[in-house]
Amino acid sequence: MLNGKKSLLATSLLFLACSANAGYSIQVNDTDTITFGGYIQGDIRYIDGNAASTLTNDDFWIGHVVKDEISNTRFHADSTRFNTKYVSGDITGFIEFDLFGGGGNEKLTNSRHPRLRHAFIKYKNWTVGQTWSTFVNTSAIAEAADFGGPLVASAFIRQDLVRYTNGGFQVSIENPESYGGYVGSGGYGSKDSMPDVIGKYTFKGDWGNVSVAAVAKQLETALGESESALGYGIAGRINTFGKDDFRFQLHGGNTGRYVGAAAATDLVGEEVEETTSILVSYRHFWTEDLRSNFFYGNTQTEESDRDRTHWGVNVFKAITPKLSYGVEVGNFDAEDLEADSNYAQLSVKYVL
């Protein structure tokens, strides 16, 4: 009987390897299921201006920018991702990769390395491993062709954690990292010994959801001092008319690396950074298969005196329930560096 199940699983896996169909799920036995998912995405991106992200190929906007005259077009499929979920009774294991791991070049093969996004285990109320930080409300992330939308103002961080969930309440201890503080010369990047502590409560209903979160950190400075830091976040997605929705995020205090994808650090020299970030986004469905989004995000810091803004507008067309394309135009501005760039992007996505 066991050999028969193994043969069935092997046959199913061979089918998956040869098929372009979507929604792959295998029932191994009465309690165990394996599911394969992800999507394939191709992007064409044009940038014009004097602000560039720190990524060599400008795949998406992040908080750090450099002054540089840019006028370039790039094709890539790095957003493509694949995942596998294993369920056995009360136990769930999940692992996901995308192709932002780097490697290769555009002269010949354009090879890319897989990059780990998620790798976690869930058992009843507990989650252990790498996944979205408890501080993040993923439903409040703006829908965009550009990767992640206005990351400059989003709570957007994945890391290793231990989390307890009970209804709308979550509490976790998560990997510490004094970004901008001490950098060691050995195998560890910092001298952080106390994990970050995060608490969040999410209110949910037919109207949508709103979450209130706080993060407490013990930061290690470059001179070996210890500084306490506390940040907060209010985020949510509110259903409006028909299928439309309004998304928002408001963050303040010492959020540091938790918000803005490097728009702010935890420490500036020996001082704890104070950050204020706001994001708003509205999604409107013109028809069942045609929708648009407008988003705006801004982050300002006290110690480093940064002021970064990203806005965009897009339209997505669903060709089938699993195949769609989108066009987006927008602008990224670093007022403190007197640098900004306009961009346009075309994305085609096939959801597995």
Domain map (residue ranges) of the chain: 39-75+133-351
Question: Along the 352 residues of the chain, how does pLDDT read in single tens digits?
Answer: 445 544 444 444 444 444 433 468 999 998 999 999 999 999 999 989 888 754 444 567 776 666 668 788 889 899 999 999 999 999 999 999 999 888 777 777 888 889 999 999 999 999 999 999 999 999 999 999 987 789 999 999 999 999 999 999 999 999 999 998 766 544 445 678 899 999 999 999 999 999 999 999 999 988 888 999 999 999 999 999 999 999 999 999 999 999 998 889 999 989 999 999 999 999 999 999 999 999 999 999 999 999 999 999 999 999 999 999 999 999 999 998 888 999 999 999 999 8
**DSSP 8-state code for residue 12:** H
- Tell me, what amino acid is at 344? A
Distance from C-alpha of 273 to C-alpha of 268, rounded to nearest angstrom: 6
Q: Would you state the structure tokens that stand for residue 266, as one six-digit string? A: 């935890």
Tell me which residue of 285, 317, 278, 298 sits closest to 145, measured CA to CA: 317
Distance from C-alpha of 229 to C-alpha of 231, rounded to nearest angstrom: 7
Distances (CA, A) of 212 to 152, 198, 218, 228, 299: 20, 11, 21, 20, 19
Helix then strand then coil, % of the chain, to nearest 5: 10, 55, 35
* 249 close to 233: Cβ distance less than 8 angstroms: yes
* 96 close to 117: Cβ distance less than 8 angstroms: yes
Residue 71, CA atoms < 13 Å, CB-side half-sphere: 0
Residue 346, CA atoms < 13 Å, CB-side half-sphere: 4
Distance from C-alpha of 125 to C-alpha of 127, rounded to nearest angstrom: 7
Q: What are phi and psi of 6, to 5 degrees?
A: -65, -40
Q: What is the pTM of this model?
A: 0.90
What local confidence, expressed as pLDDT, does residue 22 receive? 45
CATH T-level fold of 39-75+133-351: Porin (2.40.160)
Checking DSSP bridges between strand 24-27 and strand 32-53, what pairing results, if any?
Answer: antiparallel
| Cα–chain center distance at 81 | 13
